[in-house]
Amino acid sequence: MRRLVPVPAVPGPELYRALRAAVDGSGPALLPVSNDPAEAARVLVALKPEQPVEQDVCLVVPTSGSTGEPKGVLLTADCLLASAAAAVSYLGGPGSWWLPLPVTHIGGLQVVLRSLLAGHEPYLGTVPHEARYCSLVPTQLRRLLVTHPAELARYEAVLLGGAAAPPDLLDAARSAQVRIVTTYGMTETSGGCVYDGLPLPGVSVDVADRIVLSGPVVAQGYRLRPDLTAASFAGDRFTTSDLGELVDGRLHVLGRADDLIVTGGEKVAPLAVEVALAGHPAVVDVVVVGVPDAEWGSQVVAVVVLRADLTLAAAREVVGAAVSRVAAPRSLVVVEALPHVSGGKVDRAAARLLAFDAVAHAAAADQEQGP
């Protein structure tokens, strides 16, 4: 019976050889673990590598470890190779890749796999001139547009995923002549499977209550969690936690269902508010969360990084005009930087705590001042 072997998620020949052997069946299945001892310990306790690996699985990728007990996504060689082939088909052919993403996550692992299939090891370090493609998260793109715009413009495609891309960031990339391909997907779909709003070859997208993704890229389920598997997987169909809509055949992601804010009985999608505020010239970065409110049930709070002054009244006016008055933030929390989890995604749980503390502090100060 095939073993599941933890492997340090460090780019280099050892990982590349192990991944190639896992995919072609000549080596054990792999469980990438972080160099952070606490995070690695959580993964090992939850995913139990000492127990036999599920049939046909070659890679178990932990996900959601920053917000709760890690889940191990069961990926087969077939689904990984289907994803890599579909991506290469969309991009116009194989080529060399630059790897700035961590290989604890599926985005980085897919860059390694696509590189190996093309006969190259991925480039590491600073932005190389030789690579044909790279994959980034929005935070990385924003920084590189300041430090290395000319280098990015040499790439035939810069895949952008991991989080919603603010319109101002996409505009800045296009102005710098960077060829951006926006991607949507997750570990459960072997990485990005919708490029520029369109499903990759072999992938289907449906929108009912949630976004449903189907095709050969879909994983088997979650390791040692038949309950979670049954709730989200049905054959080659995966029901995501995201809301979306199809407009002229293109998928528009509206945000996670769990992130919806119900205020005064109305539902507010944080992503729409974030997009509106991100377009303001004073805003560098923004995340929108809900915090408990005695009158409204929850109130909309914008946690922002600013380059210039922005009043709450001005922020409410922007959102009211672009989205709705209900969606306009009732509090504005200014921070030096947004909290992030590994991989570059905004840590919404941490941002929610920041917002809760700031709102509570402001309320206490108002009570001390009196009428």
CA distance 14 to 9: 10
CA 88 to chain centre: 20
CA torsion sign for 182, 187, 191, 195 is: negative
Q: How do strand 157-160 and strand 180-186 relate by DSSP bridges?
A: parallel
For 332-346, what is the mean pLDDT? 85
CA distance 96 to 111: 9
CA distance 119 to 301: 48
CA distance 140 to 136: 6
Mean pLDDT of the chain: 92
Q: Which residues contact 166 (CB under 8 A, 6 or more apart)?
A: 138, 274, 275, 278, 279, 286
What's the burial of 276, exposed, middle or buried (CB within 10 Å: 0-12/13-18/19+)? buried
CA distance 92 to 182: 16
DSSP state of 237: E
pTM: 0.84
pLDDT at 20 over 70: yes
DSSP state of 370: -
**Which residue is it, tokens 């050889």?**
17
In the chain, the domains with their CATH numbers are 4-253 (3.40.50.12780), 260-369 (3.30.300.30)
For 338-352, what is the mean pLDDT? 83
pLDDT in tens, 198-217: 999 999 999 988 999 999 99
- Quote the pLDDT of residue 235: 94
- Quote the pLDDT of residue 343: 63
- Quote the pLDDT of residue 258: 87
pLDDT at 65 over 50: no
pLDDT in tens, 253-269: 988 888 899 998 898 98
pLDDT in tens, 161-188: 988 888 888 999 999 999 999 999 999 9
Q: Which among 191, 217, 187 has a CA at the least distance from the CA of 202?
A: 217
pLDDT at 144 over 90: yes
